[in-house]
Amino acid sequence: MPFRDGTGPPWWQGKFRGCGYRLTIPREAILGVLSKTSKHLSAEDVYLAVHKAYPAIGLTTIYRTLDLLVQIGLVFKFDFGDGRARYELSEGPKGASHHHHLVCTGCGRVIDYTDFIDEEVELLNRTEKGLSKKFNFRITNHLIQFYGLCDRCRSKK
């Protein structure tokens, strides 16, 4: 139920309350940061961004909250091979931003792509069904990443 001014309420409140978790300043701040970027933020990135508006919020809380958000399914956690975890909102307000990643093993750059997503997702859904049945798994999520050298790194040598 959006506000009259069109800014809308934080769309995640429902999901939060439904799980019996408290909606606190730090949690809202962290979700705010994540929802305003399309980058792949590390815990420290989130901390620094949150820190600007709420200097009192500590890194520990960032880690704990991110873990919680991952558990709830509001956030995805990625490993791009650089030794720190990256976090991304799993869906926008409109569930709009599904994408996969292209990771440069040279410089660590990560490119989001949405090309071929439809075919990929279709195949993934089929595969999910089959795997669920065969292994009696309840599949909740998938990960696809491609690795290689980006144009810059290729020309470097």
Partner DNA sequence: ATATCTGCAAAGACTTTGCATGAGA
Partner DNA sequence: TCTCATGCAAAGTCTTTGCAGATAT
Residues that bind DNA (CB under 7 A): 17, 21-27, 42-44, 54, 56-61, 63-65, 67, 83-85
Closer of 8 and 130 to a second copy (Cβ): 130
Rounded CA separation 155/157 (Å):
5
Q: Which is nearer to a second copy, 48 or 121 (CB)?
A: 121
DSSP string across 14-44: HHHHHTT----HHHHHHHHHHHT--S-EEHH
Distance separating alpha carbons of residues 87 and 67, to the nearest angstrom: 10
Q: Give the Cα-Cα-Cα angle 2, 29, 8 (nearest 5 degrees).
A: 10
- Only one of the segments 6-14, 31-39, 48-56, 105-113 lies at the binding site for a second copy (rule: CB under 8 A); that segment is 105-113
What is d(CA 46, CA 40) in angstroms, rounded to the nearest whole number?
A: 10
Q: How far is the CB of 119 from DNA (least distance, A)?
A: 32
Spatial distance between the Cα atoms of 109 and 80, rounded to a whole number of angstroms: 9
Nearer Cβ to DNA (34/57): 57
Q: Which does 63 bind (CB under 5 to 8 A by kind): DNA, a second copy, none?
A: DNA
Q: Which pair of structure tokens corresponds to residue 116? A: 């071929």
Q: How far is the CB of 45 from a second copy (least distance, A)?
A: 19
23 vs 118, which CB is nearer to a second copy? 118
Residues at the interface with a second copy (CB under 8 A): 77, 79, 81, 102, 104-105, 111, 113, 115-116, 119-120, 123, 126-128, 130-132, 134-151, 154
